[in-house]
Amino acid sequence: MSKNVSIDSPVEIKDNSKERVAFDLAMRIAFVEELSFDKKKYRKELLKLYGQCLKITINKSNKSKKTDFEKMI
């Protein structure tokens, strides 16, 4: 088995998993809010934002739980 992987075309993920929805939501929020921190802080903030978005998507799929948005901010 080869250890090297080569991709010759753009990678397109067609998925509607909770993780993918959370990622797309986080990226849209980051774009709209114009997150522009230094590299370390940007990464930390983006991961935090992704975690919040993931929590929302997981709670939305589990209808028995209510999401308290105020606690997430």
Q: Give percent above pLDDT 90 in the chain.
A: 15
**Residues 35, 43: Cα–Cα separation, whole Å:** 10
pLDDT of residue 25: 92
Neighbours of 22 (CB within 10 A): 20
Asked if residue 50 has pLDDT above 60, the reply is yes
Mean pLDDT, residues 2-28 taken together: 78
**Residues 9, 1: Cα–Cα separation, whole Å:** 22
Reported pTM: 0.60
Nearest to 72 by CA among 26, 40, 34: 26
Q: Which residue has the higher pLDDT, 42 or 62?
A: 42
Mean pLDDT, residues 27-54 taken together: 83
pLDDT of residue 28: 92
